[in-house]
Amino acid sequence: MKVKVKYLSRAREISKKLEEEVNLDGSSLEDLIDLLILKYGETFERYVYSSNRLNPLILVDGKMVNDKEYKLKEGSEVVFMSAIGGGN
């Protein structure tokens, strides 16, 4: 199935892309992440996982998702963006 992936902030620096369409054999968010790790290497893996949990904010079709088993659909849009902290 095809999904659209958008990269913001750190994810964009790693992938060197704003967005791309990806052909995915599986259907879970984890399947997509595994494919992107193969494509972009250890740096992307370190970006995505921190202490064995998902680190960046991930939006799927406009909803924040933190479950690796979340099922994607044909044409889903997945956005990787860094969490931004600040304030007092």
- Residue the block writes with tokens 């052909």: 23
d(CA 60, CA 64): 6
CATH number reported for the structural domain that contains residue 34 in this entry: 3.10.20.30
For residue 12, give its domain range.
2-81
* C-alpha–C-alpha distance, residues 28 and 71, integer Å: 4
Q: Does residue 87 form part of some domain?
A: no
In a domain, 47, yes or no: yes
- Per-residue pLDDT in tens (0 to 9) along the chain, 88 residues: 999 999 999 999 999 999 999 999 999 999 999 999 999 999 999 999 876 667 778 999 999 998 999 999 999 999 999 876 544 4
Q: Which two tokens stand for residue 84?
A: 């931004």
Total-model pTM = 0.88
Gap between the Cα atoms of 86 and 35, Å rounded: 32
Asked if residue 8 lies in contact with residue 53, where contact means CB atoms within 8 angstroms, the answer is no
Residue at 45: amino acid letter? E
Classify residue 24: in a domain, yes or no.
yes
Domain count for the chain = 1
